[in-house]
Structure 1
Amino acid sequence: MPPQAGDRSGGKAGEGPGVNLEGLRAIGRAEKWQLDYLFDLGFQAWLVHIGVVAATAGVLVSAHPEDRWPLLWCVAMILLSLSLSLLARFYLRSPPADEPSAQRYGAAHTGLTALVGITWGLGGFGAATGDFQTLLVYSLALGGTALGAVSSQHVLPRSCFVSLWTSVPLLGLAHLFHDPAFLGAVIMGMVLLYAAILSILAIRMLRFMQANLRLTRSLDARLAELTQMAAELEGARAEAVEANLSKSRFLAHASHDLRQPIHAIGLFAACLRDIDLGAEAAQLVGSVDNAARSVSRLLGSLLDISRLDVGGVVPQPEPVALGEMLQGIARQNADIAAANSCTLRIVPTALWVEADPALLSAMVQNLLSNALKYAPGARILVGARRAGGSIAIEVVDTGPGIAEKDFRRIFDEFYRADRPAVRATEGLGLGLAIVRRLAELMALDVSAASAPGRGTRLRISGLRPVAPVTAPVSRARRQHPLTGLRVCLIDDDADVLAASAMLLRRWGCEVTPFRALPGGPLGCDAIVSDFDLGGETDGLDAIAAVRAFEGWDVPAAIVSGRTEPETLARLARAGIPFLRKPVHPAELRALLTGFALDAALDISGEAVRG
């Protein structure tokens, strides 16, 4: 146990060596840590003591060649020293398991050191029978061993004091015996003063040891507390991370069910827009469609950040024509720019880069959406430029800019500036956070510069330039009538199936809807299937079955809200176009138009060859 407040070896620090009752108790007391320290030093110390005894015995034998007592003294001292050395060795090899056992070792040590002290003191009387030089050498040897006893035994005060006060006072008496005159008395007084000084030194060294022990134990206790706190914090952090990942995994896996009703609303609204409605009804349909798109955008942001959290996004780099991509993004945002009174201009460019086209397009779209929302009425410029050995895409607006207090946090998740204009704007504060995450995923840099009242510049840099690639015109940009295109439509959700069938029929398609796998050939020109069909069979299986019935690779597309990496990998390996719910009707129409154009080209080619 740590020493208590009252466990002192003498007076308070800074006071003289006054001895009180508590001090006497401290001198007589021996805790196990004191004995551990004592015996750890004792083995080597007593071996050194044997060397000192042997050298001193040599001097005594040469000074008293006729006497036997020097040899007897030497043998007694060596036996006592060996006993103490072996006592320390036994203690260290088999440490006592409990306090009483350790105390018996301490009592044995004190008893043996008392005998050593007495033997040293009696030897002084033998040396005093010779000349003063012999007594002087003996005094030096005893004084050195007394100092050594303080350095090695101060941790056990009773052994230290017994060793000092059984040997040094007898040495003083030996000097008085050698010279009973004034000089002998002075030397005796000096020897006793030496013993007192060594005693004070021993007490101060013990106090230092006790203070060091208290400090060590306090630090150990504090370290244990900090270690426990660190473990608790790590546990809490791990729980928080796991909870966040569980949330993200839930959103990623639930994305299909979350997107399904929004997808159906968008399809029904598209069908209603094609009907000749009154002005008020058309306005209501437009409001419903805008609300569905708004919910779709918010949900898309949440699902995108969740997919990034769980590692559900894997870049698939390929050559990308920046000019074509930026023009496509501008066309998609033309209506929003007009609604916000913004002037949107794309700087023409012939640059190509190697990047994932979908992820890069999403980054630019988020930057542009940010400018359109927060800089109404501004001029917005989007372009690409060379920056050293790489290429950068910039979105620059002449809007109100970003306040300094908000600028440091614009890439933080869910952060929105506390301004009326921002609060009145739809959003979750995830757009720029998604851009930053995607930039890290594709080893790109994203940065911003802004000045209040002078606009904002957002930049994606680090894109690797590549040579242009000759590629066929994207299907999504071809235009061809869909009248008469026979479509096999598969979806297990009745509302989505009905809405999709109604929309395709209004485009002129001949639709055969199914909520499960068809049972035979249909004579279809295209297949549109949901991925999840409510059983063990999925959309890829359904497409494979229809193609087997038809006897040829019917053009097909998968529509789904699933975002798991394994599902996306399966779709990529199958080479089947994938539209993510909620699908904008224009995307679906463009894809089916591409199928119809391909079919027309195939028929034309066969006619020419015939």
Structure 2
Amino acid sequence: MSEKFKLYVAEERAKSTAEHALVSILSELGHSTLTVALLWSMFPASELLAWFACAATVSLIVYILHNQVLPDKPLYTPRRWFFSVTCSSFSVGFVWGLVPVLFFSPDNIVYLAFIIALYTGYVSGGLSVTFTHQPSFVAFSTGITLPFAARMFFQDEQVYNTIGALAIFYVAMLIYVSKNMNTLFLETAKIQFANLQLVEDLAREKEAVEQAVSAKDRFLAAASHDLRQPLNAISLFVDALRPLQTKAAGNQIIEKIRLSLKGLNSMLHSLLDISRLDAGAVDSTPKHTSLTTLTAQLVEEYQTKAAHLRLVNELDDEYTVFANPTLVYRVVRNLVDNAVKYTNEGLVTLRARQDDDTVYLEIEDTGIGIPQEKLTTVFDEFEQLNNPERNREKGLGLGLAIVKRLCDLGKIEIQLKSKLGFGTLVSLRLRRGVITEPGDHAEPNSDSLHGKLIAVIDDEQSILDGMQHLVSSWGCDTIVGESQDKIMAALTQQSRVPDLIISDLRLREGSRGIDVIDVICEEYNTDIPAILVTGDTAPEHINEAQQSGLSVIYKPVDVQLLQAEVIQLIQQHHP
């Protein structure tokens, strides 16, 4: 028995004794009162009251002692508890064993029956209270039996001698029973102790896993931010360089650089998607969305990317779903992308069917399939099949993890069936929507940017240079600054109010782009449209950007997306 287990058992015994303390004192006081009442006419009142006072005092002392010698009390030690509970058990038993010694009525059959019932009842009751600690029962039963049996033997009559012998035999049997009960208690305690140890081990493992996940998230957030900064600058310079390049060979090189950057951008955005989902920064508001239009766009896009395959869109009828269009688009896109990656030849088919209130969208491929034992793990983060060489063209293994989280967020039921070597079928269960008439939307006009003044704030000089070249190529005037002070100094030299602000979220020395934007707006006493640009994937920073109410674009910046957002904001502010 280990020391830790011994301490656990001692504490459990102390708690059990304390739990029974109140019931015990009430029982003892009640029985003492009843005993005195029954013997009141047979023996002197002074002797009965003296015994009652002694019994009540002992019971009270034992009650207080049991509540003071507890694991959470200063007096508690296992040794001190053992000594106190053993002595107190003997004391209580001895007080009750004195009843037939102090008060005895020979040849009174009714009294004798009362004494025997009192003795057997108390010894049995003591067993139920002290079963967790056999020495306590032995002490109690010895305390009550010794004076009782001695008084029976002292009477020197066969009937009383027989009662005394039976009392000793009875208590010996109960001591044997108490041994078995104590053994059962120890076995139960072992199981409870093992369970507690298991819970503690699991808690430690859970904490270690949570710390590891937190460390991973912090590392990915820091690495993602640091990688995005130079990639964003490169992307801006490449797009600014493109209209200046006139040679065909140079354009080909630029295009290859753009494709490489696009691949890196895709992987970084996968990490960003996970972080945004962790931060709860993804909008899941459902809308009536045309599933037919959405799938047609994806099939058209991937048909050019996967010339070796035949993408078939069987959504001939109009299917409308009530779901968040961005979530549905990301889910279907990731599933189609996954099907294309792992299908070397054959078909990737999209089909749909609908019931009264449900639309089922299926994406089926004739690809390599998934082993049955992997069907439950393919939705885990960084889980990839058939990519031992970690080919970056096949991503990071986050596609299906993102799909699962997006489906959970959008309350989209997803089912996966696959047979190794024959292909995979993914089914999405979506709520049926209502067909709506398309509204009138004004197309963005790039001419609206000509001559507009745009203020750019970023603490990376290379990004400032790239943004300045890019924005200037749109026909805009630009003012740049690395901090609040520098951008404000540059703005004071202008007689114009900026038409738009583009700022990094995190600047040097803990400064925030949100605050800089607020200062500029207060300076001109007007609301100026603004865009936050950030490379952060930490959930708290994503939440900060989303809650600002400003437009947010993540690095490396998609130039077309940035231009479209700039045009839209300026047109909304200057219709």
Q: What TM-score do you get using the length of structure 2 for normalisation?
A: 0.71
- Confirm whether residue 515 of structure 1 aligns to residue 480 of structure 2: yes
Is residue 322–residue 349 contact of structure 1 (8 Å, CA) maintained in 2? no
After superposition, residues 506-545 of structure 1 pair within 5 angstroms as 509-516=474-481, 517=487, 518=491, 519-521=493-495, 527=500, 529-532=502-505, 534=507, 538=513
SS at match of 1:309: helix
SS at match of 1:265: helix
SS at match of 2:394: coil
- Of 315, 322, 326 in structure 1, the residue corresponding to residue 295 of structure 2 is 326
Which residue of 2 is the match for residue 570 of structure 1? 548
Which residue of 1 is the match for residue 166 of structure 2? 197
Which residue of 1 is the match for residue 56 of structure 2? 86
After superposition, residues 230-379 of structure 1 pair within 5 angstroms as 230=199, 233-234=202-203, 237-238=206-207, 240-241=209-210, 244-245=213-214, 247-248=216-217, 257-270=226-239, 275-277=245-247, 279=249, 284-338=253-307, 341-346=308-313, 347-348=315-316, 350-379=318-347
* Larger displacement relative to structure 2 (397-406 or 33-42): 33-42
In 1, the alpha carbon distance for the partners of 2:17 and 2:282 equals 60
Unaligned runs of 5+ in 2: 3-15, 70-79, 128-136, 482-486
In 1, the alpha carbon distance for the partners of 2:437 and 2:543 equals 28
Is residue 505–residue 532 contact of structure 2 (8 Å, CA) maintained in 1? no
Is residue 25–residue 63 contact of structure 2 (8 Å, CA) maintained in 1? no
Is residue 47–residue 85 contact of structure 1 (8 Å, CA) maintained in 2? no
In 1, the alpha carbon distance for the partners of 2:534 and 2:567 equals 20
Which residue of 2 is the match for residue 587 of structure 1? 561
Q: CA deviation at 1:591?
A: 5.7
Is residue 46–residue 84 contact of structure 1 (8 Å, CA) maintained in 2? no
- Confirm whether residue 429 of structure 1 aligns to residue 394 of structure 2: no
In 2, the alpha carbon distance for the partners of 1:309 and 1:92 equals 57
Which residue of 2 is the match for residue 167 of structure 1? 151
Deviation readout 1:62-114 (Å, 9 max, x if unpaired)? xxxxxxxxx5x566874575355434444356448787888887777677666
Q: Structure 2 vs 1, CA of residues 144 and 545 (structure 1 numbering), >3 Å: closer, same or farther?
A: closer
In 1, the alpha carbon distance for the partners of 2:160 and 2:179 equals 29
Deviation readout 1:208-231 (Å, 9 max, x if unpaired)? 335545654675587467547635
In 2, the alpha carbon distance for the partners of 1:432 and 1:470 equals 32
Q: Structure 2 vs 1, CA of residues 317 and 262 (structure 1 numbering), >3 Å: closer, same or farther?
A: farther
In 2, the alpha carbon distance for the partners of 1:106 and 1:325 equals 81
Is residue 363–residue 425 contact of structure 2 (8 Å, CA) maintained in 1? yes
Unaligned runs of 5+ in 1: 3-31, 58-70, 128-133, 175-187, 603-610
Q: Percent identity?
A: 21
SS at match of 2:418: strand
Q: Say which one has the larger Rg.
A: 1
Which residue of 2 is the match for residue 496 of structure 1? 463
| Superposed CA RMSD | 4.8
Q: What amino acid maps onto 1:510 in structure 2? A: G
SS at match of 1:529: strand
In 1, the alpha carbon distance for the partners of 2:544 and 2:268 equals 21
Q: What amino acid maps onto 1:581 in structure 2? A: K
Which residue of 1 is the match for residue 450 of structure 2? 485
Q: What amino acid maps onto 2:463 in structure 1? A: V
Which residue of 2 is the match for residue 13 of structure 1? none
SS at match of 1:462: strand
In 2, the alpha carbon distance for the partners of 1:104 and 1:334 equals 89
SS at match of 1:306: helix
In 1, the alpha carbon distance for the partners of 2:527 and 2:102 equals 111
Is residue 514–residue 548 contact of structure 2 (8 Å, CA) maintained in 1? no
In 1, the alpha carbon distance for the partners of 2:202 and 2:339 equals 40
Q: What TM-score do you get using the length of structure 1 for normalisation?
A: 0.68
Q: CA deviation at 1:371?
A: 1.1
Q: What amino acid maps onto 1:529 in structure 2? A: I
How many positions carry a matched residue from both structures? 515
Deviation readout 1:562-594 (Å, 9 max, x if unpaired)? 66234234345xxx6x54332334434656787
Q: CA deviation at 1:464?
A: 4.5
Is residue 450–residue 456 contact of structure 1 (8 Å, CA) maintained in 2? yes
- Of 385, 391, 395 in structure 2, the residue corresponding to residue 417 of structure 1 is 385
Is residue 42–residue 152 contact of structure 1 (8 Å, CA) maintained in 2? no
SS at match of 1:459: strand
Q: CA deviation at 1:497?
A: 4.1
Q: Structure 2 vs 1, CA of residues 161 and 80 (structure 1 numbering), >3 Å: closer, same or farther?
A: farther
In 1, the alpha carbon distance for the partners of 2:37 and 2:514 equals 94
Q: Structure 2 vs 1, CA of residues 326 and 261 (structure 1 numbering), >3 Å: closer, same or farther?
A: farther
In 1, the alpha carbon distance for the partners of 2:265 and 2:392 equals 19
Q: Structure 2 vs 1, CA of residues 540 and 355 (structure 1 numbering), >3 Å: closer, same or farther?
A: farther
Q: What amino acid maps onto 1:328 in structure 2? A: Q
Q: What amino acid maps onto 2:398 in structure 1? A: L
Is residue 97–residue 145 contact of structure 2 (8 Å, CA) maintained in 1? no
SS at match of 2:370: coil
- Of 122, 136, 141 in structure 2, the residue corresponding to residue 157 of structure 1 is 141
SS at match of 1:510: coil
Which residue of 2 is the match for residue 16 of structure 1? none
Q: Structure 2 vs 1, CA of residues 196 and 580 (structure 1 numbering), >3 Å: closer, same or farther?
A: same
* Larger displacement relative to structure 2 (215-224 or 85-94): 215-224
SS at match of 1:413: coil
Deviation readout 1:291-350 (Å, 9 max, x if unpaired)? 222211111111211221232323344443333333333444344223xx1223443554
Which residue of 2 is the match for residue 407 of structure 1? 375
Q: CA deviation at 1:370?
A: 0.9
SS at match of 1:393: strand
Deviation readout 1:534-588 (Å, 9 max, x if unpaired)? 4768489669969998x9999876654466234234345xxx6x54332334434
Q: Structure 2 vs 1, CA of residues 254 and 419 (structure 1 numbering), >3 Å: closer, same or farther?
A: closer
Q: Structure 2 vs 1, CA of residues 318 and 283 (structure 1 numbering), >3 Å: closer, same or farther?
A: same
In 1, the alpha carbon distance for the partners of 2:395 and 2:477 equals 39
Question: Taking CA–CA contacts closer than 8 Å with sequence separation of 6 or more, which of the two structures ends up with the larger relative contact order?
Answer: 2
Q: Structure 2 vs 1, CA of residues 270 and 436 (structure 1 numbering), >3 Å: closer, same or farther?
A: same
